[in-house]
Structure 1
């Protein structure tokens, strides 16, 4: 196991959603993805039940099929009022950033099926609650993010995406996912081009921090 020379803070602040810089040509060793999943399994889950399953898709035809579903979802998303490129359109500071995000979303939308490895963490549960589902998804999403961090430490890029869920049933059928198992995020995984990443622009902490109440 060889990891990049990153401090914990560097790892946490430079693990980015990578879209345009995913290397679509360089193969990703299966054992490297396995290492990342092994680390992800150390994440917390409700009552320590560990009802997670990880689908790793490398088959060319299946990746292409998932990529087509994702492309359709991206096309619909980019036409919606909530698309990244439309958010904060009147804000001179944030509009350029959101336009770049929209451009990168469109880029990955056309290429998702070409990414060497697609990873879908799933949660096995009998039913989805009608109300607040934070407790449920809290049993898989920390593990999914741990996977992204482990990948970053090994020189891999990932993107946190959920637009594929519009076609969750179709992808369930494609991959043979049981009825009691639900997909969470889709994590395209590849080596990245360029040297490294830097922290992203974020809101000042004083704008979002509330002490002892709102």
Structure 2
């Protein structure tokens, strides 16, 4: 049974608890998300950081089944070309776990599931930046990705899961046309949202913080103690 908003009332999750336990959720049920919940999630997202408070963004909410199917087909094509062709390699139980292949076996299965079932997610949220078409500025995402994380954290408070992903971008022009974007705008990813169908809210596995934090200069590390 998928989790529902009743299992995690809004605002019950503490701030640090939410920050530590909001992993990517890729197994999503097709249970509809109420409009009032969506509005609350989006309202939290737009409170995210924006350089100079310029807010050069827009948020396209996609619920139309046909549009979702068309975007999902582009997404599946991108997934197949990038990782689908490596399925046997990445799921080989004999492969060396110390070799970084881009995805663990469990992550592969979850991401493959999303690629196969993306259209079933009840809502796609597409963050869009105006004036970003054709930009090569590597700092461009700073204008929106903090807000995207707030979207996911707000969704967490309502028991809704999601993930920021982008395999649809092999057909970016077609997606832009489907969404009716202005000529100068660019999608900055795709966030499918839904009540989780499996898995749990848990702390993602990460390297210890004292291994990745450098003090003053790269390579100068300290024990957390």
- How much has 1:128 moved relative to structure 2? 4.1
Residue ranges of structure 1 left out of the alignment (5+ in a row):
none
Which of 182, 199, 205 is the equivalent residue of 1:178? 182
TM superposition score normalised by structure 1? 0.88
What's the CA shift for 1:196? 3.8
Residue 10 of structure 1 corresponds to 17
Correspondence 1:80-99 to 2 at 5 A: 85=90, 89-91=95-97, 98-99=104-105
DSSP-derived class of the 1:189 partner: strand
Task: State the secondary structure of the residue aligned to 1:122.
Answer: strand
Task: Look up the match of 1:54.
Answer: 59
Question: Superposed, which structure 2 residues align to 1:1-214 within 5 Å?
Answer: 2-3=9-10, 5-20=12-27, 22-24=28-30, 26-79=31-84, 85=90, 89-91=95-97, 98-125=104-131, 127-130=133-136, 132-134=137-139, 136-193=140-197, 196-214=200-218
Residues 126, 23 of structure 1: CA spacing in aligned structure 2 closer, same or farther, 3 A cutoff?
A: closer
Distance apart, 1:189 and its partner CA:
0.5
Q: Tell me the SS of whatever aligns to 1:53.
A: strand
Instruction: Extract unaligned runs of 5+ from structure 2.
Output: 219-225
Contact kept, 8 Å, 1:58 with 1:116, in 2: the verdict is yes
What is the aligned residue count? 208
Q: CA distance change for structure 1 residues 92 and 129 in 2, over 3 Å: closer, same or farther?
A: closer
User: TM-score normalized by structure 2?
Assistant: 0.84
Shift, 1:190, TM fit: 0.7
CA drift of 1:91 comes to 2.4
Aligned mates of 1:166, 1:46 — CA distance in 2:
28
- Root-mean-square deviation (Å): 2.7
2:203 is paired with a residue whose SS is coil
The 4+ residue runs of structure 1 with deviation greater than 6 A are none
- Residue 59 of structure 2: SS of its match in structure 1? strand
Report the CA distance between 1:166 and its aligned residue: 1.5
